[in-house]
Amino acid sequence: MATVSLKLVTVIAEAVLEERLVRALLDLGAKGYTLSEVRGSGARGVRAGGPEVNVKIETVVSPEVADRILAHLAERYFAHYAVIAYAETVEVVCGEKYT
Amino acid sequence: MATVSLKLVTVIAEAVLEERLVRALLDLGAKGYTLSEVRGSGARGVRAGGPEVNVKIETVVSPEVADRILAHLAERYFAHYAVIAYAETVEVVCGEKYT
Amino acid sequence: MATVSLKLVTVIAEAVLEERLVRALLDLGAKGYTLSEVRGSGARGVRAGGPEVNVKIETVVSPEVADRILAHLAERYFAHYAVIAYAETVEVVCGEKYT
Amino acid sequence: MDTLELVRLNLLSPMVLAFAVGVAASLARSDLKFPDALYVALSIYLLLAIGLKGGAELSGTPAATVWAPLLVTLLIGTATPVWCYAILRRLGKLAQADAAAIAAHYGSVSAVTFLAGLTFLQRAGVPAEGFLPALVAVLEVPAIIVALIIARTATGGMNSWAGALREALAGKAVVLLTGGMFIGFLSGQEGVAQVAPFFIEPFHGALTLFLLEMGMVAARRLRDLAAIGPFLIGFAIVMPVLHGILGVYLGTLAGLSVGGSTILGLLAASASYIAAPAAMRIALPQANPAFYLTASLGITFPFNLTAGIPLYYALARLVHGGG
Amino acid sequence: MDTLELVRLNLLSPMVLAFAVGVAASLARSDLKFPDALYVALSIYLLLAIGLKGGAELSGTPAATVWAPLLVTLLIGTATPVWCYAILRRLGKLAQADAAAIAAHYGSVSAVTFLAGLTFLQRAGVPAEGFLPALVAVLEVPAIIVALIIARTATGGMNSWAGALREALAGKAVVLLTGGMFIGFLSGQEGVAQVAPFFIEPFHGALTLFLLEMGMVAARRLRDLAAIGPFLIGFAIVMPVLHGILGVYLGTLAGLSVGGSTILGLLAASASYIAAPAAMRIALPQANPAFYLTASLGITFPFNLTAGIPLYYALARLVHGGG
Amino acid sequence: MDTLELVRLNLLSPMVLAFAVGVAASLARSDLKFPDALYVALSIYLLLAIGLKGGAELSGTPAATVWAPLLVTLLIGTATPVWCYAILRRLGKLAQADAAAIAAHYGSVSAVTFLAGLTFLQRAGVPAEGFLPALVAVLEVPAIIVALIIARTATGGMNSWAGALREALAGKAVVLLTGGMFIGFLSGQEGVAQVAPFFIEPFHGALTLFLLEMGMVAARRLRDLAAIGPFLIGFAIVMPVLHGILGVYLGTLAGLSVGGSTILGLLAASASYIAAPAAMRIALPQANPAFYLTASLGITFPFNLTAGIPLYYALARLVHGGG
Ligand SMILES: Nc1ncnc2c1ncn2[C@@H]1O[C@H](COP(=O)(O)O)[C@@H](O)[C@H]1O
Ligand SMILES: Nc1ncnc2c1ncn2[C@@H]1O[C@H](COP(=O)(O)O)[C@@H](O)[C@H]1O
Ligand SMILES: Nc1ncnc2c1ncn2[C@@H]1O[C@H](COP(=O)(O)O)[C@@H](O)[C@H]1O
Ligand code: NA
Ligand code: NA
Ligand code: NA
């Protein structure tokens, strides 16, 4: 099976940011995303009071777009909001759909 | 910790396909799967009208099975259905369970 | 974007274990985790009767902590409980937050 | 009551107003969002409740009064998709798959529209046959089968034909309606009385809550309006009216009361948005959902809810020689 | 009313019919699926409602009439798992962990079975003591503890003994039942009257909806039937009958009415499928859930729901000298 | 009824007892957990229901009796956050963002507290104006705006100011309350009667269930109690009392009855935990949620629910010259 290497970027963030983050991802070049409702807790745990309600947003993008997304998040969100993000390499079928 | 390298295949597809895809994965050699309800939107967005209801199916399999799954999806589903899939390498404990 | 390589450990387990596993992860050095409700079925399928209700716990940790978590799970849970786990490498922004 | 008064009565019902609030909330981009589970729970409740009530009333109905309405309903379910397909192909120049998929929707039925119609009649004090829910169950599936046969004949190959059929027949709408009728029929009026404080009395309120969500869903569909073009927009309004006239007329012929004829008209006029979309996605994935969902959910549903119901009622009174 | 009439009355109740529809939907592989949240919401509602009602009625009951039934209930809860274990080991040749886990299930209680029994009595016009929900709360946990003690003695080591115990006692079924009773007891008949249109009147309907889902769950369990073997299938039918006879008899001794004795028989006969499975998964993971879930949910639950309830009632009338 | 009797009446209501059970369940670390969907569904239901009822009653109310209460409510909504901010900065030495965020919460309103107040009055047989839900809708947003203006002035830059504002105005609480009022107003008493078995009669029961969950949520917040310090704990009790006095007094001036003045006091005393937290997380993320959530949800909410309601009622009777 011929596959292409792309980046899967995962963003986990407090639920109120959902709409903003989705818009940001699409603006930065993502062609799609997948979102699920999760709970979690982290080092800062800013909202506390038991596990917090978060969203997890996953998007398959080119390495450049991945980089732009991580940079944008680091600049705009990491300081004050409960947001984490990471990227990994995945093998994708029909790679042209993501760029 | 002794681990084995296997493939994690992730399939994101419109919810109506759930039963069919699970059956296909098991037929192609997967020994198990994990499924969650997600929302998303993609380049085609065939169903549109806001984020679409999808399922995400993850299965840990041998590289050969991963290849077969991706090939099967590409052949049977990618053209008309809202389906994406990608594979990545993961380190698994108790690798014999997956093959 | 400067990133650090860390390990993403994913644990999928029957729902009754949620509280225990989360405590174990934090005790073993994880600084945070993200949890979602999933369904699934596996080689053992101990609880059977259709797809089983599981939790998926994901945690970004240092390689050493990842190793400790996998070893702990293999020793304490794999024999009798419906639990699987795998690790993979991810690129993380603000790596200091996870260690 | 004159027609204007009927329209007013319908527009100012809690149901229709809740639908309007849902549309407004969606347009204002409110963060109001029904949990999926609530949406599903409400539809399970509504379908089961309507089946229950219908079954209990059916248990007291002589078969002689039921067979004619069932027959014309079956006729409507098999005939309407045929001419819908022809019109969509000839006049609308739609692709075969798209035409067949839309035909399936307009031949099938919307249970919520049906419920809104019953509620309207009740408010207006018009009696209706108790067995009408049986007609909904009968009208649900045939159009889907007919449309799939048309598509298969037209395009040759087709994915999962048998699977789509089985799923349509064991689909949740059919199972809940017929299951509810089964429970209601066997446990009778007395059995249903025991569950009435859950299934019967709060019914209109639950429907009102559901329509709030439907308003939000319909408004989201309207964003695709530009994509579907003026022909389909026209189709989604004119076709229901034609089907409504047919339903009212055939219902009257089959011996239904004014209320029953109104409802049969409404059933014929309504377009499916639960059973048909699921079947089409599986069996005809090449058909564009933006077409059939926007037409049925974004246009026909609100049209029937607001204008259609009083219109078919006025027609039924006319045909019955009242008015 | 003769026995046949009672059986008919029970089988044709909306509850039992809904269970049958659920089984049928599952066998027909329908896509009907209750959202998890709906299932959980309904069980929260049912347990809290039954506690509320019981608590309010308890507030008017003299302690003298309550202690004897409580005592025999406790007796049943501690004794039944002991002989269940012995039978499963000796006659059934089951492994220690499996036998202990099944014993925990059959010694504990099914709240939904209880509710179905109350509903049956109400339909049949048979009065029953108001404090019966207290017996459910008392019967829930002891068998789990006894079975875990047996398993520990038999097998030596055991995972999370203390944890399993704490969780059984603070488990949601116990918390909701006792919490509801606490609310009902302190706010009294007048307080409960204020919430009756939510917790009391729609109760039977909500139970009917819940049983539809239970039918689907039970039918899924039946797929494991082959795996559990004829002995366990027999056990899952014979044991409830024996426990039912015991419960009816002890209930009558303890001064319960015909209705109350019926219910105590039913409680003894019923097998847990909420509290016990969770405790067993944690404390006895080596026990095979296919055994205890299929027996309790796939066989005993439907058996009690359909045949058991009228049977224990007939027994109770017999023991009370009626019949 | 003397004050002690009122306190007893309130504490022994199903609502308050359910709250206590929720707190206890959380402290006992029970596995009882409401599905998120149930929590959301109940809040949608409660807000819509209260709007509906208010709207229907508003439709029969002359504008002349409504404008004065609306005005003083608006006054309360804009003035209270100002002095809250000053007190929190001067006396509490809190950071600007923290002070502004807490001010927003205490200037806004808690709909559930309002509902608990109405239920109390109903049990006590005290009539209250039907249009009070309108006051809740009016009180929801202004404080959030005022607090954001203060924060902006104090700190200079601020994230997403416009976004936060739009979201507060189209937030679900406001949409459901005003949407419900719109439906109730236009469909009138007769329309609301049709949905009463769903929206009106089961209302107190649904509120009781919701308060069980609120008890669990509030108890979780109490774990942060140590972090927020004695000043804020005091603030979360003293400030509601002061605002309560103000509200009762202004309500009486504006012509409200004893019941209405009680409610306006309660509204002023209550602190938001739906609209305000969401707005603050977006517009003032640097403010620590542990402060405003623990204060409003962990302290002020239980305080008002248990002690506040009878207190403001006693005050209202005093001010009206009764008592
Ligand atoms: N180490 C981690 N591994 C996985 N998820 C995490 C981790 N740290 C934080 N999270 C997630 O990110 C959210 C915000 O984290 P924080 O900002 O540290 O409170 C948490 O609620 C978790 O869902
Ligand atoms: N680039 C992407 N990254 C993550 N998920 C995607 C992406 N593209 C599509 N998806 C998911 O796949 C589904 C189908 O995509 P599509 O067929 O393009 O409409 C969407 O609803 C998303 O859930
Ligand atoms: N090969 C697999 N791929 C993905 N998930 C799996 C796999 N095997 C098992 N699982 C998950 O782990 C759970 C327990 O598996 P098991 O212990 O084999 O029954 C299942 O219910 C699945 O959610
Ligand atoms: Na139709
Ligand atoms: Na038992
Ligand atoms: Na306030």
Whether residue E236 contacts residue E225, with contact meaning beta carbons closer than 8 Å, is answered with no
Q: Which of E36, E166, E183 sits opposite F18 (nearest CB)?
A: E183
D256, pLDDT greater than 60: yes
A49 pLDDT higher than 90: no
Chain C CB within 8 Å of residue E281 CB? yes
Structure-token match 């940790």, residue found: C61
CB contact under 8 A, C54 and B34: yes
* pLDDT-based confidence at residue B45 (cuts at 50, 70, 90): low
Which 91-130 residues of chain F touch chain E by CB within 8 A?
Answer: 119, 123
Residue D238 CB burial class (10 angstroms; 0-12, 13-18, ≥19): exposed
Rounded to whole angstroms, the Cα distance separating A12 from C11 reads 17
Helix (H/G/I), strand (E/B), else coil: B11: strand
Q: Is the CB of B44 under 6 A from ligand 2?
A: yes
* Predicted ipTM of the assembly: 0.93
Secondary structure of residue D270 in the 3-state scheme = coil
Output DSSP code: residue D305. Answer: I
- Tell the residue number behind the tokens 């937030």, with chain if given: F171
**Beta-carbon contacts below 8 Å between B and C:** 62
**HSE toward the beta carbon, residue E76, CA cutoff 13 A:** 36
Residue C61: name the closest of C14, C13, C11, C2 by CA. Answer: C11
The Cα–Cα gap between F148 and F145 comes to 5
Average pLDDT over residues E307-316: 96
pLDDT at D274: 79
In order of D52, D183, E204, F137, the CA distances from D189 in angstroms are: 10, 11, 15, 43
pTM of the model: 0.93
Do C90 and C7 contact (CB within 8 A), yes or no? yes
- Cα dihedral F265→F270→F272→F274 (10° resolution): -100
A14 vs F217, F223, F281: nearest CB: F281
- Give the ranges where E59-109 is alpha helix by DSSP (H): 63-90, 96-107
Average pLDDT over residues E1-6: 78
Mean pLDDT of E118-136: 93
| B36–C42 C-beta distance less than 8 A | no
Burial group, residue B26, by CB count within 10 angstroms (0-12, 13-18, 19+): middle
Of all atoms in ligand 2, which is nearest to the CA of residue B12?
12
Question: With an 8 Å Cβ cutoff, is E140 touching chain F?
Answer: no
CB contact under 8 A, B34 and C39: yes
| pLDDT-derived band at C43, boundaries 50, 70, 90 | confident
**Which of C36, C40, C85 has the CB atom closest to B33's CB atom?**
C40
Measure the CA–CA gap between D134 and D50, rounded to whole angstroms.
9
Report, as an integer, the average pLDDT of D278-288. 87
The mean pLDDT of D193-219, rounded to a whole number, is 94
Polymer length of chain C: 99
How far apart are the CA of D20 and the nearest CA of chain E, in angstroms? 27
Which of C14, C47, C80 lies closest to E286 in CB terms?
A: C80
pLDDT beyond 80 at E164: no
Chain C residues with CB under 8 Å of E36 CB are 37, 53
Tokens standing for E320? 């009370």
Given a cut of 70, whether residue E99 has pLDDT beyond it is yes
Query: Which amino acid belongs to residue D149?
Result: I
Task: Give the end-to-end CA distance of chain D in Å, rounded to a whole number.
Answer: 9
DSSP output for D200-219: TTTHHHHHHHHHHHHHHHHH
Position A90 pLDDT exceeds 80: yes
Whether residue D158 has pLDDT greater than 60: no
d(CA E247, CA E256): 11
Task: Say what the pLDDT of residue A1 is.
Answer: 75
Under 8 Å between Cβ of B8 and B88: yes
Q: Tell me, what's the pLDDT at F160?
A: 58
Higher pLDDT pick, F248 / C46: F248
Q: In this predicted structure, what is the pLDDT of residue E275?
A: 82
Per-residue pLDDT at F301:
96
**Confidence at residue D300, expressed as pLDDT on a 0 to 100 scale:** 97
A26 touches chain F (CB under 8 A): no
Q: Which residues contact F140 (CB under 8 A, 6 or more apart)?
A: F108, F109, F168, F171, F173, F174, F177, F272, F275
The response to whether residue B52 sits with its C-beta less than 6 Å from ligand 2 reads yes
Any E CB within 8 A of C2 CB: no
Q: What is the pLDDT of residues D162-172, one digit of tens each?
A: 766 777 778 88
Contact of D30 with chain B, judged by CB distance below 8 Å, is answered with no
E1 vs D74, more confident: D74
CA B34 to ligand 3: nearest atom: 23
For chain D, say whether B37 makes contact (Cβ under 8 Å).
yes
The answer to whether B87 and B8 have CB atoms below 8 angstroms apart is: yes
Using an 8 Å Cβ cutoff, are C44 and E285 in contact? no
Neighbours of F226 (CB within 10 A): 8
- Ligand 2 atom nearest the C-alpha of B84 is 12
The tens-digit pLDDT sequence of chain F (323 residues) is 677 888 888 999 999 999 999 999 999 989 899 998 999 999 999 999 999 999 998 888 888 889 999 999 999 999 999 999 999 999 999 999 999 999 999 999 999 999 999 999 998 999 999 999 999 988 988 999 999 899 888 766 555 567 667 777 788 888 999 999 999 999 999 899 999 999 999 999 999 999 999 999 999 888 778 878 899 999 999 999 999 999 999 999 999 999 999 999 999 999 998 788 888 888 888 898 889 999 999 999 999 999 999 999 999 999 998 64
pLDDT of D159 strictly over 70: no
Each residue of F219-278: pLDDT tens digit? 988 877 887 889 999 999 999 999 999 999 999 999 999 999 999 999 999 999 878 888
Residue of E39, E165, E175, E181 best to disrupt the F interface, most CBs of F under 10 A:
E175
In angstroms, rounded to a whole number, what is the distance separating the alpha carbons of residues B50 and D289? Answer: 13
**Region of poorest pLDDT, from C32-46, D34-48, F206-220:** C32-46
Looking at residue E157, its pLDDT comes to: 54
Report the 10 Å Cβ neighbour count for E33.
15
- Cβ atoms of C94 and A78 closer than 8 Å: yes
Give exposure, D209-237, as e/b (b: 16+ Cβ within 10 Å).
bbbbbbbbbbbbbbebeeebeeebeebbe
Mean pLDDT in residue range D9-36: 93
Residue among F292, F204, F291, F260 nearest F17 (CA): F204
Task: Tell me the average pLDDT across D226-251.
Answer: 95
Cβ burial F197-208 (10 Å sphere, 16+ → b, else e): bbbbbbbbbbbb
pLDDT at E257 over 90: yes
pLDDT in tens, E20-66: 999 999 999 898 999 989 999 999 999 999 999 999 988 888 888 89
Tell me what the mean pLDDT of segment C12-26 comes to: 93
- Residue A46's pLDDT is what? 61
Q: Tell me the pairing of strands A33-41 and C33-41.
A: antiparallel
Per-residue buried b or exposed e for B34-48, using 16+ beta carbons within 10 Å of the residue's own CB: bbbbbbbbbeebbbb
Which whole-number Å values give the CA distances from D47 to D128, E112, E307, in the listed order?
Answer: 18, 24, 29
DSSP lists the bridge partners of residue D11 as none
- Contact in structure between C54 and C82 (CB atoms under 8 Å): yes
pLDDT score, position D6: 85
pLDDT at F316: 97
Q: Please say whether the beta carbons of D125 and D60 come within 8 A.
A: no
Average pLDDT, chain C: 91
CB A69 within 8 A of CB A85: yes
C-beta of residue F312 within 8 angstroms of C-beta of residue F259: no
